Amino acid sequence: MDQTKRQPRRMGWRFAFLALLLAVGISGLVRSLWLDVYFIPSDSMEPGLEGGDRILVSRTDFHNEPIRRGDVVVFDGRGSFAPLNSGKGPVLDSVAAAGQWLGLTGSDTTYVKRVIGLPGDTVICCDADGKITVNGTALVEPYLFAGDKPSTRVFTAVVPEGRLWLLGDHRSVSADSRSLLGAPGGGMVPLARVIGRPVQIIWPLDRFAAIPRPLAAGPTTEDGP
């Protein structure tokens, strides 16, 4: 008699466990193919993205339309930007890894920056007006952090095929492609390392908002520079 009373309880736990496994599996599939959640740990992309923001990133936007100048991208920085984190190894412990999976903590190898130079572009700082130029044309950058100059560092960068030149919007605090001039790879990020495009701020709730894609600031990667 006791055995028949306990059986429904065991079945209930099994059903709950299987339902949890299914939910985790579906979530993992969605996040690997379509949408993922990332945590912004720094202020390098202010004012558009602030430290502490959680963002939803589309993995498919750039499948339908190629990356263009002015796009904000999330990318795997291993082999290009990861040297900026020298002294910090990859996150290995399970608690931190779970936090990254849930979008609660940052990653030592994942970055978010804005595309300034496409393959074949020549990016120069700066012209007589203090603006960055791409292929001789000055960039208009309404997304810059208030009071920041386009760059205080003088540079010339020629972007190889299959690579991107990336800068943060809060230039005075951003470690980006400028910081790796002279390093192996020169801060040029392979197109294949782009994970996706931020499409929505989902946390904190008072900043819940869509992240619009800017108008094209030049030719796309398909058209060439």
Q: What residues are annotated to the active site?
A: 44, 113
Residue 59, C-beta contacts closer than 8 angstroms, at least 6 positions apart? 32, 33, 34, 35, 36, 195, 196
Handedness of CA 66, 69, 71, 73 (dihedral sign): positive
Angstrom distance (rounded) from CA 161 to CA 96: 36
Q: What length is written for the chain?
A: 225
- Please count the CA atoms within 13 angstroms of the CA of 122 that sit on its side-chain side: 5
- Look up residue 51 and give its amino acid: G
* DSSP three-state, residue 160: coil
Sign of CA dihedral 110, 162, 83, 145: negative
Name the H helices within 34-119.
61-64, 94-101
